[in-house]
Chains A and B, each alone.
Chain A
Amino acid sequence: MKTYYNPEDLKKFGDISEWQEKLGEKFFDYYGAIFQDGALTKREKTLIALAVSHAVQCPYCIDAYTEESMEQGYDEEQMMEAVHVASALKGGATLVHGVQMMNKYKDLSM
């Protein structure tokens, strides 16, 4: 069955450098550097990445960071709480625009 997303494609992510080597390399170096221990640990960054992968709704990232979170020792409850944080931000970001709607509504009303 043909689908837009194929789990096998995640392993081919590195292939994007084939068509633009310099930028590809820069991106992967940067990506790799980000996930090193820094002011935040690699473990903390993994949970952030899990939440963000849901916010950007990237199936590749969700697969990758679910597995990575398990390998970093997070459990179901912790991981779901992270997804709820993403959900709160996405939901909140939608709802806060309700204020803009209210403003515009008021502007246009007598």
Chain B
Amino acid sequence: MVKLYNKSLLSQSDSLSDPKNQLNLLDKVNLIPFQENLKKSNLFPLKPINIDVFQVNIGKMCNQVCKHCHVDAGPDRKEIMTRDTMHLCLDAIDKTSCSTVDITGGAPEMNPDFRWFVKELFKKNKKIIVRCNLTIIVANKKYNDLPIFFKKHNVEVVSSLPYFNSKKTDAQRGNGIFDKSIKALKMLNEVGYGIEGSGLVLNLVYNPTGAFLPPNQSVLEADFKIKLMGKFGVQFNNLFAITNIPISRFLQYLLVSDNYKGYMQKLVSSYNPMAASSVMCRNTISISWDGYIYDCDFNQMLDLKVSAKEKHLSKYNFEELLNRNIIVNQHCYGCTAGSGSSCGGSVT
């Protein structure tokens, strides 16, 4: 186990806070280029099938500083989406045949225009997903009513809980996070979230708490259900098992713990062509706080803007995006290892 600071890379002035340095590092490891594997699977260049999920990262500000965070989020991060940019999102959503809008961050609820944005999306009759870190609900009185707000706007809540005990959860997400998360989960359960028959969906996300791949999603889900119900009386719908992508703070962890090479080799040797054909960037588009367009949230954090003439929402061109080539790199091995990984868990 290594000592890592619960601080953003930026506030530590760590060279990895510059995405270029991350990309250089990823290029340096002597491993088969991801593109080569895609070629062998007849998937290169990687093309979108559709844009069904419109994912919006409305800011890097967060009340937590998790050690594996790919956003490098934290309380010190001030980059948040303005209402003007949200307007651009809404216009773009109108031009996109997407069924779902997925709101993420940071802690998206900390953006002062978050509720306004959700209400506007609700009017559009889109399925709304909010990636809620749970503790925000109990962080301050002004957030205590979030479960009711979510319910009122039929929001699907997706929340990270890396394990059903405090030891592992706190090791990844910070001291005391597990207890606060359980408290928030109970508040969500109280209004009906995660309760069978309520129609209110509460999904949990499992990330490995270290340099290893996630277990089988359905086996783990069954384990989580028994343990969370038995020990804490907490219920939820589905568990998504997500692989940690070797970028940002997780990359820092890999380097500091001397696991980088081994983890990359593991990802490469676990390449699964089936997973590659179902990577989430093939049906998702990702928008940054300042309105730029990316293939996914990971490419966003590496500042790899879409390979299209128009890279900003102000000149959103749906047709052009549908025909783009998705930008892939060595970090993409994180999406194709084993059963594959996406914002909705395994892909195979």
Shortest CB distance A100–B (Å) = 43
Q: Which of A11, A70, A75, A76 contacts B212 (CB 8 A)?
A: A70
Residue of A whose beta carbon sits closest to that of B217? A73
CB interface residues, B 212-256, toward A, < 8 Å: 212-216, 219-220, 223
Place the interface of chain B in its size category: 10 to 19
Q: Is the CB of B212 within 8 A of A73?
A: no
Q: Is the CB of B219 within 8 A of A71?
A: no
Chain A contributes a number of interface residues (CB within 8 A of B) equal to 9
- Supposing A73-B223, A75-B163, A75-B168 touch, asked if A67 and B216 sit within 8 A by C-beta, the answer is no
Which residues from B are CB-within-8-Å of A11?
A: 265
A71 and B213 CA atoms in complex are apart in Å by: 5
Whether A103 is near chain B, meaning CB under 8 Å from some CB there, is: no
- Supposing A43-B219, A75-B163 touch, asked if A70 and B208 sit within 8 A by C-beta, the answer is yes
Give the dominant DSSP class at A's interface: helix
Shortest CB distance B208–A (Å) = 7
Whether B15 is near chain A, meaning CB under 8 Å from some CB there, is: no
A55 and B213 CA atoms in complex are apart in Å by: 26
Q: Is the CB of A71 within 8 A of B168?
A: no
Which residues from B are CB-within-8-Å of A67?
A: 212
Mask, B161-174, CB within 8 Å of A = 1, is 00101011000000
Question: 12 other contacts beyond A70-B212, A75-B163, with CB at 8 A cut-off?
Answer: A43-B215, A67-B212, A71-B212, A71-B213, A71-B214, A72-B216, A73-B216, A73-B220, A73-B223, A75-B165, A75-B168, A76-B167
> Can you give 9 A-B contacts (C-beta < 8 A)?
A43-B215, A43-B216, A43-B219, A67-B212, A70-B208, A70-B210, A71-B208, A72-B219, A76-B167
